[in-house]
């Protein structure tokens, strides 16, 4: 009988990881039937998409999610129906906790095994939800080294550190001189002048709050240091019209390019909080993080979230990069920080030293028993296959 596995990823940032696991599963188990929620990457990995996450999810924040509730509920109902109709032997969840933990409960009620890959940040807030893992999740594949210990300290011993998937996908070195020159020339940039990479975000709510202070900061930057070349990276999910305000800023370019290639070529960066922070750190780019949420979301974070550093990088190596948040996100602060990152050699070096060692901390290079190198998706697929085996016993 052809086994079925459902994969649920509610955001574009996670569905690439779902696609990688899908390919690893198919390599090990060619006849497996894969279905679930994701985006183009999962579709290309031969996952039957029941729900497109770009049209039904991809929201961040508390009030920000309210307008999407009807679509999210419809997506949930469709996946629960598939649990009954397709009867998958395993459910693999990727991040997206509010949705996926409820889907885990529905799966366990139907006797379906559950594997959680890229678990919710319970160590930051709502730690009591570890009870959901105890009841509804069979195994977890975690991507930060401290997460397995955290789960264990809270009475759940089924989490395994598999390494962070970005470590395998981002080269350790910066672009060589000729590669860099060719790339920057393709963007109509002068390779002899410093380049500032700017990542405003990939969600409409983020863009709406970030574009004004960023565009004003880059205008101020051009006035104070016109040799610096800002490059605003537009995510595929962001309409070009959302970044039109940058068109009038002298010296600024808006491009849709591979983020890591830009990071490996730029001299410094201003990055919205999120996965781009870890990408930049692994690519060797000195940067500072910024983020501005709604007043309500900010109040909830300040009063209920236990951590006080928010960049992924700072969670692994505290104090590694500067965080510019909420009322600090102004043209003056962002401009000053950009100039400091590029012109203050001592400051740049200190940031780069802070980022050193992050790759090693997030790696799990070799099996302790065989010494054979494996990548993260293969490790996750191995856990999934072990659960499939349990389900057939």
Distances (CA, A) of 76 to 43, 56, 57, 99: 19, 10, 11, 7
What pLDDT does 294 receive?
61
Instruction: Tell me, rounded to whole angstroms, the distance of Cα 375 from its chain centroid.
Output: 18
DSSP 243: G
Q: What is the pLDDT of residues 284-338, one digit of tens each?
A: 999 999 999 766 655 555 544 555 666 889 988 999 999 999 999 999 999 999 9
Strands (E), the chain: 4-9, 33-38, 48-52, 90-94, 113-117, 139-142, 159-161, 195-199, 229-233, 253-255, 268-272, 287-291, 323-325
Instruction: Tell me, rounded to whole angstroms, the distance of Cα 378 from its chain centroid.
Output: 19
The answer, yes or no, to whether residue 107 has pLDDT greater than 60, is yes
- Tell me the pLDDT band of 61, cut-offs 50, 70 and 90: very low
Distance CA 187, CA 255 (A): 8
Domains defined for the chain, CATH in brackets:
4-163+364-392 (3.40.50.2000), 169-360 (3.40.50.2000)
pTM of the model: 0.84
Give the tokens for residue 6: 């459902």
Q: What is the pLDDT of residues 337-356, one digit of tens each?
A: 999 999 999 999 999 999 98
Longest Cα separation, the chain:
69
């Amino acid at each position: 009988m052809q086994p079925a596995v459902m994969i649920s990823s509610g955001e574009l940032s996670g569905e690439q990881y779902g696609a990688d696991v899908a390919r690893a599963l198919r390599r090990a188990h060619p006849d497996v039937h894969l279905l679930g929620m994701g985006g183009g990457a999962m579709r290309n990995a031969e996952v039957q998409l029941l729900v497109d996450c770009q049209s039904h999810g991809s929201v961040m924040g508390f009030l920000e999610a309210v307008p999407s509730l009807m679509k999210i509920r419809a997506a949930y109902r469709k996946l629960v129906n598939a649990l009954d109709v397709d009867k998958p032997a395993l459910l693999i969840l990727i991040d997206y906790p509010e949705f996926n933990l409820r889907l885990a409960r529905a799966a366990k009620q139907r006797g379906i095994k559950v594997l959680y890959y890229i678990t919710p940040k319970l160590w930051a807030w709502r730690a009591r939800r570890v009870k959901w893992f105890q009841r509804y999740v069979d195994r977890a594949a975690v991507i930060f080294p401290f997460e397995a210990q955290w789960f264990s300290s809270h009475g759940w011993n089924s989490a395994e550190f598999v390494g962070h998937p970005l470590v395998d996908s981002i080269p350790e070195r910066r672009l060589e001189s000729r590669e860099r020159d060719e790339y920057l020339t393709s963007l109509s940039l002068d390779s002899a002048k410093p380049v500032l990479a700017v990542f405003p975000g990939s969600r409409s709510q983020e863009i709406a709050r970030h574009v004004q202070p960023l565009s004003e900061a880059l205008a101020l930057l051009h006035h104070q240091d016109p040799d610096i070349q800002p490059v605003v990276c537009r995510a595929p999910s962001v309409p070009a019209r959302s970044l039109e305000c940058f068109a009038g800023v002298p010296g600024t370019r808006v491009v849709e390019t591979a983020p890591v290639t830009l990071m490996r070529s730029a001299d410094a960066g201003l990055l919205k909080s999120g996965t781009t922070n870890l990408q930049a750190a692994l690519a060797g780019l000195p940067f500072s993080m910024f983020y501005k949420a709604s007043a309500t979301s900010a109040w909830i974070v300040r009063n209920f979230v236990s951590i006080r550093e928010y960049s992924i990088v700072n969670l692994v190596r505290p104090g590694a990069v500067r965080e510019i948040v909420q009322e600090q996100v102004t043209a003056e602060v962002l401009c000053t920080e950009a100039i400091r990152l590029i012109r203050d050699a001592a400051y740049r070096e200190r940031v780069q030293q802070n980022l050193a060692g992050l790759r090693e901390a997030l790696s799990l290079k070799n099996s302790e028993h065989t010494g054979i190198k494996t990548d993260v998706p293969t490790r996750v697929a191995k856990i999934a296959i072990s659960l499939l085996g349990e389900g057939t016993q």
